[in-house]
Structure 1
Amino acid sequence: MKGKTISLIMALAALMALGACSGYKERTLDYLGKRPTTGPFFKEDNTPMVELNYKAGDQISNQLEERLPPGSPITVTMFRLRGSNLQTDFAKVLTEQVASRIAQKGFAIVADSSRFPTTALDEDLAPPEKCVLAGAYSVGTERIFITAAVSTVADGEILGSWDWNVPLNSRTRTLLPIKEDPNISPMVNTSGPLEKSDSAAQPHYVPDQLHNQPGFEQDIMN
């Protein structure tokens, strides 16, 4: 009798194990071919840089439509890395994309404004105003912060400006020699509060060595 009981218990256990394996197999098949529900811990922002820069160009252009007289020439200066004279590939691409977008909106982006007339195209219109597009950027830990403006050459009045940022990702890093140049270290302090004696080591604005005169860089970025 005892032997029959043990055999019955073993048979029931085998049936239960078989059912559990079958159910586990079915549940496993339900998930095959499906994406995992968890993502990477640090998800990189891959928003195209040109898309963000074009939006900035649109915003500046919208302001110029209301304030800039028709036929006004706009020269372009290379955007600056704040606190440094270094010209990076990032600055070149950034400047070209913003200037290109403003040109696409119908404004006169020129290399030499001296060839453009200063008299009004019509009696009812204001005379053309020579302007300059300038900008500056800073490298953060995850974003690159940018400011750009179109200002008059005569008195530095800002006619259109915009502030935006682009992601610091694998693509934008290739345009910034962060490892090679100490002036492009991300803006984060890992050494604790600065002492008064360390104030001279803080980043500072460096005047334009080419003696360009955009009021935006002189007044706003100083």
Structure 2
Amino acid sequence: MKGRKTSLIIALAALLALGACSGFQDRTLDYLGKRPTTGPFFEEDNTPMVELNYAAADRISDQLSERLPLGSPITVTMFRLRSNPIQTDFAKILTEQMASRIAQQGFAIVADSSRFPMAPVAKDIAPPEKCVLAGAYSVGKTKIFITAAVTTISDGEILGSWDWAVPLNSKTRSLLPIKEDPFITPMVNTSGPMEKSDSASAHPQSDYIPDEFNNQPSFEQDIMN
């Protein structure tokens, strides 16, 4: 009799355990194929660099349309990393996109302004003004901060300028030798340009060649330092 009761208790316990496992399995199946309810800890900003650069070039073009005489030639200098003489792929693409967009807006982007005609297009219009497009950028923790301007070569007057930022993401980071060059590191303070260091000041910051009157745009001197 006692043995029969024991057997019944064991059988009952086995049935209860089987039911619990079946219920747990059913509940587990409810979650299979479902996405997690929490999102990623950090979502990368993948705004295309070209869109932001084109928008900045449009702002500069708007200013040039009001101040730059018709037919004025604009030469282009490579955009620079502040406080570092290294040339990066980021700078090359940035410079090309800015120059390309300003040219698309109808302005004369030229390789050599000395061969460009400088006669006024009409008697009542100011003569063309030789200008240069220059810029500089600083690498922040999550963004790359850029400044660009078109200035006159004769006296360095700023005719159009703009400040903007592009995200520091996997695409833009691949254009910057951050891993290879220990001097290119994200800035802790992104409110302004990097401070000069002894190693950086030992190298020239600009290879701009002055015109025949030995004039150099003052804005370019400032942003290259």
TM-score range, shorter chain: 0.7 to 0.9
- Is residue 217 from structure 1 mapped to residue 217 from structure 2 by the alignment? no
Over the matched positions of the two proteins, sequence identity in percent amounts to 73
Distance change >3 Å, CA 160–CA 27, structure 1 → 2: farther
Amino acid at match of 1:208: S
Residues in 2 aligned to 1:68 and 1:123: alpha-carbon distance in whole angstroms: 16
Residues in 2 aligned to 1:59 and 1:22: alpha-carbon distance in whole angstroms: 66
Amino acid at match of 1:140: G
Residues in 1 aligned to 2:48 and 2:120: alpha-carbon distance in whole angstroms: 40
Match of 1:86? 86
Match of 2:96? 96
Match of 1:44? 44
Residues 83-116 of structure 1: CA deviation (Å, up to 9, x unaligned): 0110000000000001110001010001011111
Residues in 1 aligned to 2:224 and 2:88: alpha-carbon distance in whole angstroms: 18
1:36 to partner: Cα distance: 3.8
Provide structure 2 residue ranges, at least 5 long, that are not aligned to the other structure.
Answer: 1-11, 190-194, 211-215
Distance change >3 Å, CA 22–CA 91, structure 1 → 2: same
Distance change >3 Å, CA 24–CA 57, structure 1 → 2: farther
Query: What SS does structure 2 have at the residue aligned with 1:54?
Result: helix
Contact 1:75 1:109 in 2 (8 A): yes
The CA RMSD measured in Å over matched residues stands at: 3.1
Q: Hey, which bits of structure 1, 4+ residues long, moved more than 3 A?
A: 20-37, 198-207, 209-212, 219-222
Query: What SS does structure 1 have at the residue aligned with 2:183?
Result: helix
- The number of residues matched between the two structures is 212
Match of 2:168? 168
Contact 1:74 1:109 in 2 (8 A): yes
1:209 to partner: Cα distance: 3.5
- Is residue 124 from structure 1 mapped to residue 127 from structure 2 by the alignment? no
Match of 2:206? 208
Residues in 2 aligned to 1:210 and 1:221: alpha-carbon distance in whole angstroms: 10
Query: What SS does structure 2 have at the residue aligned with 1:53?
Result: helix
Query: What SS does structure 2 have at the residue aligned with 1:171?
Result: helix
The alignment's TM-score, normalised by the length of structure 1, stands at: 0.78
Query: What SS does structure 2 have at the residue aligned with 1:184?
Result: coil
Query: What SS does structure 1 have at the residue aligned with 2:178?
Result: coil
Residues 25-68 of structure 1: CA deviation (Å, up to 9, x unaligned): 99888877664442111111111110110001111001100000
Amino acid at match of 2:145: F
The alignment's TM-score, normalised by the length of structure 2, stands at: 0.77
Residues in 1 aligned to 2:224 and 2:179: alpha-carbon distance in whole angstroms: 25
Residues in 2 aligned to 1:82 and 1:95: alpha-carbon distance in whole angstroms: 15
Residues in 2 aligned to 1:179 and 1:111: alpha-carbon distance in whole angstroms: 33
